[in-house]
Amino acid sequence: MTSPDMTSTGTPAIYAVCALDDIPNRRARAFVLARPGADGAPQVWPIFILRWGKHVRAYENRCPHQGVHLDWERGEFLDGEGMRIQCGKHGALFDMGTGLCVEGPCRGEGLSPIEVVIDEGEICLVGVDLIEDGLGA
């Protein structure tokens, strides 16, 4: 039997989330996805994807300090200069490329990264176990 994050051919599952052009340069965008919980029922999984140029990174939308969402205003994740991810609750600053906290109460801790690739202009999550259309309307 294959693991839930692998296809039947043994390659990692890939899920397209949005087009690269859907996220402006030096911006981030939040997504609320669903993945199976311990009981198999859909569980809310908030993430965000950030872009600078042709580079993208994805992280869980959760600060390691107290587990709160990072966006300081709906969909706003970056500091005023657009150079670092900023937690909206305590102002912690994170490196965009590594997710490592460089300033604030969780200094030295990191965000939970999610593997992403760009495939034919689409930003795709790799090797995750998602429930497509699992949260309903």
Ordered domains of the chain (ranges, CATH):
14-126 (2.102.10.10)
Structure token digits, residue 100: 């490592």
Separation CA 114–CA 48 (nearest Å): 9
> In 3D, which of 135, 123, 126, 64 has the Cα closest to residue 99?
64
Separation CA 79–CA 10 (nearest Å): 40
pLDDT tens-digit profile, the chain (137 residues): 334 455 555 567 899 999 999 999 999 999 999 999 999 899 999 999 999 998 999 999 999 998 899 998 888 999 988 899 999 999 999 999 999 999 999 999 999 999 999 999 999 999 999 987 655 44
What is the model's pLDDT at position 18?
97
Question: In this structure, which amino acid lies at residue 82?
Answer: G
- Name the CA radius of gyration of the chain, rounded: 15
Beta strands in the chain (DSSP E): 14-19, 27-36, 42-52, 55-60, 84-86, 93-95, 101-103, 113-114, 116-119, 122-126
Which residues have C-beta within 8 Å of that of residue 81, sequence separation ≥ 6? none
Query: Is the pTM value of this prediction over 0.95?
Result: no
Separation CA 63–CA 36 (nearest Å): 21
Residue whose structure tokens are 């997504």: 31
Q: What are phi and psi of 20, to 5 degrees?
A: -55, -40
